[in-house]
Amino acid sequence: MRKPLVMEGAALGTALVIFLALTLYRLELPGLYYDEAADAVLAVQMLQGQPVEIFKGAGLWLGDMAYPLMVMDYVGAVNSYLLVPFFAVLGIGVESLRLLTVLGSAAAVVLTYFLARSLFGWAAAALAVLLLAVHPSFVFWSRQGIYVTSLMAPLALGGLLSLRRWHAGGNFLKSGHNSRPGPGPRKDLLSGQDRQGFPAPHEPKLPTPKGRPHRRGRVRGPG
């Protein structure tokens, strides 16, 4: 029992070390591009108490302070709010701005491991995160910081892992590949059995003529 845990920890730890080594090296390169700067402007304005640019009037006003809801037509301001503590602690700069997406992608690596382990076992999960940690596209866009999509990866993986945990009826830290369903009614809807949180489908009943009980059996033809 102890040996597999050590091997799993070593695999996940190795993947994280490799990923962080690749993404944190010269994090200021390449330079900022438009989407990164658009999110950063709102974060700086909120942090320094400056008048905040409200896109098309989409904002909340609390006293004299305005809080934006949108950065542009199809981009919300969630990332701008997440950037505020990074700027407050580490200072306003490219490295602190991009550290947000690097850590978000590191969380995606961890969640990928647990999700893959629950479905296919720890060996497949270890291979998955090691490949993900060195994937050129994943590494590049984790550094560059595509805020529209980069933080969706850990959110989506977390949602899938929660769904898997609910379906298996156990702890997601345990391998769902070998887990047993938890207590209570947790059966399949399609088979006509109960599942927690959903009403059980009932067998349809055929209407019967008034005063005549319905009997099951073979239908006889005339004569």
For 102-148, how does the pLDDT look when each residue is reduced to its tens digit (9 = 90+)? 999 999 999 999 999 999 999 999 999 999 999 999 999 898 876 66
Q: Is position 56 within any domain?
A: yes
Q: How confident is the model at residue 208 (pLDDT cuts 50, 70, 90)?
A: low
203/81 Cα distance (integer angstroms):
51
Q: Is residue 131 part of a domain?
A: yes
Note whether 16 and 102 are within 8 A (CB). Answer: no
| ∠ Cα 35 100 106 (to 5°) | 120
User: CA 9 to CA 12: how far, in whole Å?
Assistant: 5
40, part of any domain:
yes
Within a domain: residue 42? yes
123, containing H or E segment: helix 122-133
Distance from the Cα of residue 5 to its chain's centroid: 24
Confidence of residue 12 (pLDDT cuts 50, 70, 90): very high
Amino acid making up residue 33 = Y
Buried b (16+ CB within 10 A) or exposed e, 103-126: bbbbbbbbbbbbbbbbbeebeebb
- Residue 137 placed within a domain: yes
In a domain, 87, yes or no: yes
Structural domains counted in the chain: 1
Residue 222 lies in a domain: no
In terms of Cα–Cα distance, which of 158, 180, 183, 185 is closest to 168? 180
Whether 116 is covered by a domain: the verdict is no
Q: Which domain holds residue 41?
A: 2-106+121-145
